[in-house]
Amino acid sequence: MRILAIAAHPDDVEWQCGGTLALCRERGDDIIIAVATNGNVGTGDPSITREMIAATRHEEAKASAAILGAHLIWMDFDDEFLTDNRETRERFIDAIREARPDVMFIHSVLDHHPDHRLAGSIARDARIPASVPLVVTNFPPTAMPTVFEMDTELGNHFEPEFYVDVTRVMETKTAMLSSHKSQAAWMMHVFGTEFTENMLIQGRFRGAQACTQYAEGFKLLHDWPYTGDARLLPSK
């Protein structure tokens, strides 16, 4: 199968479904990671320009994707200013068409971050015109994928329907997230929290709910047309 994880920022995919993607890769799936914004405000160092941090975050995203042998789609919109307009929708449509996914992971519209909510909403909408021949973009139409919503950061306002046991691949997930070295300092600067530890706490919390050590939580997108179900998720 072909698996697309489409997110607002570099590091979002790693946090919320990195373990699931690692399991998908193990079973032979092709993995594509699409990132909407370039993370160009993600630093507390005033000596670093927006262009510099964007370049750093692109390299970090490429390093993370390389751990899974994943293809990276970099949309390059400005961080914190993702906007729902024709340009953005066409870029999301192209990301889906380029990936040709059987399964797509997207942000929940209940997420705390406006870029996350908007990226999830646009991705949800874009799956339909991505299949329409007369919607002309840079890539040809593709079939509509089965869509799962990813967990929110620290599980706020999100009740998973399904859990994937990622205990066995936590080392891979942690390595992917740790590729985003610039964000460890940024998270400490803004929130006073440790980047990787927060991810591990959430993984243990979802793991406790799923009666295992570490898990990731998902919801099936309950929206017509239905094209698949939770049996498409990997098992341990």
pLDDT (tens digit per residue) in 60-116: 999 999 999 999 999 999 999 999 999 999 999 999 999 999 999 999 999 989 999
Q: Is residue 61 part of a domain?
A: yes
pLDDT (tens digit per residue) in 132-179: 999 999 999 999 999 999 999 888 899 999 999 999 999 999 999 999
Q: Say how many C-beta atoms besides its own lie within 10 A of residue 192's C-beta.
A: 7
Contact (Cβ atoms closer than 8 angstroms) between residue 148 and residue 24: no
Q: Say how many C-beta atoms besides its own lie within 10 A of residue 220's C-beta.
A: 17
Q: Which burial class, exposed, middle or buried, applies to 129 when counting CB atoms under 10 A from its CB (0-12, 13-18, 19+)?
A: middle
Q: Is residue 171 part of a domain?
A: yes
**What's the CATH code of the domain at 172?**
3.40.50.10320
Q: Assign 13 a pLDDT band (cuts: 50, 70, 90).
A: very high
pLDDT (tens digit per residue) in 206-222: 999 999 999 999 999 98
Residue 193 sits at the vertex; the CA angle it makes with 155 and 121, to the nearest 5 degrees, is 40
Contact (Cβ atoms closer than 8 angstroms) between residue 150 and residue 105: yes
Q: Assign 34 a pLDDT band (cuts: 50, 70, 90).
A: very high
Average pLDDT, the chain: 94
User: Which pTM value belongs to this model?
Assistant: 0.95
Q: Is residue 236 part of a domain?
A: no
Q: Is residue 229 part of a domain?
A: no
Q: Assign 190 a pLDDT band (cuts: 50, 70, 90).
A: confident
Q: Is residue 234 part of a domain?
A: no
> What domain range is 103 assigned to?
2-222
Question: Mean pLDDT over residues 34-59, rounded?
Answer: 91
Q: Assign 194 a pLDDT band (cuts: 50, 70, 90).
A: confident
Q: What is the pLDDT of residue 55?
A: 96
Question: Is the confidence at residue 120, as pLDDT, over 80?
Answer: yes
Number of domains in the chain: 1
Sign of the CA dihedral with 165 first, then 169, 171, and 172 last:
negative
Q: Is residue 228 part of a domain?
A: no
Q: Is residue 235 part of a domain?
A: no
Which residue in 10, 13, 33, 8 sits closest to 151, CA to CA? 13
Q: Is residue 231 part of a domain?
A: no
